[in-house]
Amino acid sequence: SGSSYHYAKDLRYSTITPAISLAFRTDDFRSNKRESLTFRFVNVMRQKNEIIDTDDIDPDYSVFNTRYSYSNNGIINHFSWFTDLQIANNFSKLSVDLEYRKLYQNNRQLNLRLFAGKFIYNDTSSDYFSFALDRPTDYLFDFNYLGRSETTGILSQQIIIAEGGFKSKFENPYANNWMVTANASFNLWKWVELYGDIGWMKSKLQSGRFIYDSGIRLNLVTDYFELYFPLYSSNGWELGQPRYDQKIRFIVTLQPKTLLGLFTRKWF
């Protein structure tokens, strides 16, 4: 597969990704269990602006990626996990991501997610390939960012629930050694939920850090349209801090292929 879009103003990227994917399922066709194993070699070619140096790595790079995924999406219980290995010239990293959702008889829903990632080796000097608490750099160009290079404005407030999965913005959200996080939410009334995230992270030559945040989640359409209002975090009481409107985060899906899943998914 391949793609070509802009990753910054007047800067374009292209990817060429040969891949092999194997899918497995049980003999029981009524079962929701799914397993897959994917091997791919992601080749990224980026236009480089000589005046604005976006990072200190070569604009072109390649990453070998293999991922095993498992899911069992039932009406009452939803469980999925994957393990992901990436190998490149100057880094290698391994991560695990687990997600569990349970719908109770009183129509309350519990959502849990765990993430753990560790660099096997890392010879980079920037955070371009580092683990992120929120809004990963997406160097494999897998995510549908509306404003990929935005650091201010409404588009910079979009989040992707990946890696750390945090909702608050932190001054230094990256870890180039290891990261372990947990995300949880529980609905208070219909689509109004209380969320909380905790995490431990460590970068080379630095002490480990404990990070947390909490707030209100408006789960209007799960995974497709959600709003997050931070309340309290490692930054303190965010509700009373200046420019609170810039702290609000959102999830929105506009890609036609992804939106199709809204009508074909099994609801729980």
Per-residue pLDDT tens over the stretch 202-217: 999 999 999 999 999 9
Pick from 44, 2, 38: nearest CA to 20: 38
Q: Which residues contact 26 (CB under 8 A, 6 or more apart)?
A: 33
Cα–Cα distance measured from residue 178 to residue 175, given in angstroms and rounded to the nearest whole number: 6
- 181, pLDDT greater than 90: yes
Model confidence pLDDT, tens digit, residues 85-119: 999 999 999 999 999 999 998 889 999 999 999 99
- 259, pLDDT greater than 50: no
Percent of the chain with pLDDT over 90: 66
Predicted model pTM = 0.88
- 9, pLDDT greater than 80: no
| Half-sphere exposure for 18 (CA within 13 Å, toward CB) | 1
Residue 97: per-residue pLDDT: 99
- 128, pLDDT greater than 50: yes
Residue 52: per-residue pLDDT: 43
- 244, pLDDT greater than 50: yes
**What six digits make up the tokens of 192?**
């109004």
Cα–Cα distance measured from residue 251 to residue 268, given in angstroms and rounded to the nearest whole number: 19
Residue 135: per-residue pLDDT: 92
Residue 47: per-residue pLDDT: 78
Higher pLDDT, 141 or 7: 141
**What six digits make up the tokens of 193?**
């939920």
Question: How many angstroms separate the Cα of 26 from the Cα of each of 30, 31, 38, 72?
Answer: 9, 7, 18, 11
Q: pLDDT class for 253, splitting at 50, 70, 90?
A: confident
Model confidence pLDDT, tens digit, residues 156-170: 899 999 999 999 999
Average pLDDT across the chain, whole number: 88
**What six digits make up the tokens of 173?**
């959200």
Q: Which residues contact 73 (CB under 8 A, 6 or more apart)?
A: 32, 79, 80, 266, 268
Exposed/middle/buried for 135, CB within 10 Å: 0-12, 13-18, 19+? buried
Model confidence pLDDT, tens digit, residues 31-84: 889 999 999 999 998 877 654 455 556 788 999 999 999 999 888 899 999 999
